[in-house]
A and B are shown apart, each in its own frame.
Chain A
Amino acid sequence: MMKSNNTYDLSSPTRQSYAAILLIAYKLYKVLIRQLFPFLIIFLFGGSTNMKDSLMIFIIAISIIGFIYSIIAFFKYYFYLKDDKLIVQKGVFKKSKIEIPFDRIQSINYEQNIIHRLFNVVKLNMDTAGSVGSELQINALDHKLANAISDHILKHRSELSATMSSEERSSKEEKKVIFRLSIPQLLKVGITENHLRSGGIIIFFFFWLWDNLRELGLDFMERMDDYAPMAKVVSASLIVISSLVVLFILVSFLISLIRTVLRYYNLIMYRIGEGFSIESGLLNRREYAAKDHKIQVLTWSQNLLQSWSSIFELRLTQASSIAVNDRKSLSVAGLEWEDVKETEAYLFKNDFHELSDIETYPVHPYYRFRRMYYWTIILVPTIIATAYFQEMTVSTVLFLWYLLGMVSSQLKFKKKRFGITDNLLLLQGGTFGKSETLLQLYKLQNIKIHSTPLQRRRELSSLTLYTASGQVSIPDIGYTTCVRLKNYLLYKIESSSKSWF
């Protein structure tokens, strides 16, 4: 550790590794492509040659300007450590200087995408506590320099949950594999993904594309008449529709499979010291770490397919003073029941045994009726109206949707249960699948009781519990139970001398 500190003078302004130029440019191009996507489509598929030429020049010009910008941005970017602070100076048009005291840095994570791996550099992500600027990123750093920096910060802030390079970590703390995702399991995870979500992405993508193209004066519906006057007649036929549906399902399935492989390829979950670490990804190899005391909520879930093949998804969410996002949580997929239990045992330590004989309670049946009631007031008038106007297909679809809503209300009610022990809170839920949320009572921050007029008529209210990484709700329980629970939880919070993070 000392050696690395000597080789690098961390207190003098340092630039990033030269690979940063590529990374800045890559990031810039990604944004540009996303913004200019419709133009590119036109460029590829249509428009007059005249337009094509000017677009070509435009695109080339933008690419060159973007690259020059990246180079300038690189040379204007400095960082150094001074007086227990990390200082970053940057800015092409507007200069800015960011100072972050080491105390505010909550965690340091390394990330490597394919460009990083090519140049053997890492991206440093620092999460900071505090209201301004949630996190700081240094795009590309030499692996050793990154280690030197995180070591230096670590030395001045022992609480820090830093992810060090894997070689160093193994020498310092014992590393135990909790779970490793094999290739067959990876495929299982991909197959049991929520394909509806992928399908939703496709639909959204096409709507977005269509909308953008129409704005640019390309209307497929109009063009269809020019190119294929028979299209409308053909599209009405059952074979075309059903083959489109099959294609849609196939593509959704494929997309979720690809997403899963990219994200979870060779996923390994470790237990290191008093924390967890996860490595995964095919092209973008990500490494995340979380210390036990930082983890606020543990959630496992199964969708219907996953529960059939009895695999679990696990999420450990970490404290952050800013809004919760994915970066703050560790997600693992494809776990077996034993792996989930092992993680729980590690995380909850002495409190874990309380789960073996935990008693759970249902919420009030009003929870079900409330949902059914909402479905009814929204959908039934629409169904009647569409039926009145002879739109039988629409009303049939809506009616099926309504039935689904009713069934899901019933299932949600059946699965919603809660339980509380001396130190833990358990909340079960799910519609077609299943989920379970667990948290330690002393990690709660705030408690809110909420009631609507309809709830008050039945002497019910809802309890919302806030943690540093999101909230959980126990809906529709009796008012007296709610108050008793609240008092118990408050007592637990207020009498605890343990630090919640």
Chain B
Amino acid sequence: MSKSNIDTFTNIQLDVETLPKVQDLIYQPLESRYKTVLLLGRLIFTAVATFTIGAVLLFSPIKELVPMWAIYLFIAIYILYIVLGFVATLEGFRHKSFALRERDIIYKEGWIWKDHTTTPFNRVQHVSIDQGPIERNFNLSKLKIFTAGGRASDITIPGLDPITADQLKEFIVSKTLKDKSGESDFHPHDEEQ
């Protein structure tokens, strides 16, 4: 609208060419100990599920109701499911990675169904760091980046070293503040902890 806007516009046009294209970005993998956390979670889930199913098979009258071959088939499918579950966990870990750019952060995940989310810093509402009990034991943190786009689009990067997570948070918050200075009255939610 105004002249100053036109100036900014041409300035930024140069910027775009220097911005790396998404394809040739180098993605940062998550901490390898996060793989252990994921596997542990999977193990616990599998143990509980197996225990429950085993109890049902052993102590309920299901054996009289269903032919034996069906039970064997079910067990075979269940074993396949467990194996695939572990493969998916490992592959899932391998496919989780993120990349930081000057103006946005990218997180991609998914082995079979791939997702690739980009959040511009000038749309970030607030950033938080989370740590679950298992993660605390492994000295890992989770970085959550919130925008007004809603829960489906918010980025959560798990498996970060707490120091890295802090640095990332600091960096993103400084970027959001800088990008917003002057032009908008928007104040990202103050981190009150």
Chain A: residues with CB nearer than 8 A to chain B?
103, 130-131, 159, 319, 321, 323-324, 350, 444-453, 456, 464, 466-468, 470-471, 483, 486-487, 490-491, 493-501
Contacts and interface: CB of A to CB of B under 8 A. Distances in A.
B153 A448 contact: yes
Contact of A130 (B115, B117, B120, B189): B189
- Categorize the interface residue count of chain B: 35 or more
Interface in B1-51: 1, 5, 8-9, 12, 15-16, 19, 21-23
B22 A471 contact: no
Residues of A contacting B: mostly = mixed
Contacts of A486: 22, 118
Residues of B contacting A: mostly = mixed
B61 interface: no
Given A471-B149, A493-B122, A496-B122, 20 more contacts: A159-B185, A321-B125, A448-B116, A449-B114, A450-B115, A451-B113, A451-B114, A456-B114, A466-B153, A467-B149, A470-B150, A483-B22, A490-B118, A491-B19, A494-B12, A494-B104, A495-B12, A495-B15, A497-B5, A499-B185
B148 A319 contact: yes
B72 interface: no
B148 A445 contact: yes
A339 B146 CA distance: 37
B63 interface: no
A266 to B, nearest CB: 34
Contact of A490 (B5, B120, B147): B120
B22 A446 contact: no
B16 A471 contact: no
Nearest to B9: A495
Interface of B: 1, 5, 8-9, 12, 15-16, 19, 21-23, 103-104, 112-123, 125, 147-154, 183-187, 189
Contacts, number: 106
Contacts of A450: 113-116
A452 B5 CA distance: 41
B23 to A, nearest CB: 7
A486 B151 CA distance: 20
A450 B154 CA distance: 15
19 contacts: A159-B185, A446-B123, A448-B118, A450-B116, A453-B113, A468-B149, A483-B22, A486-B118, A490-B103, A490-B104, A490-B118, A490-B120, A491-B12, A493-B120, A493-B122, A497-B183, A498-B183, A500-B123, A501-B148
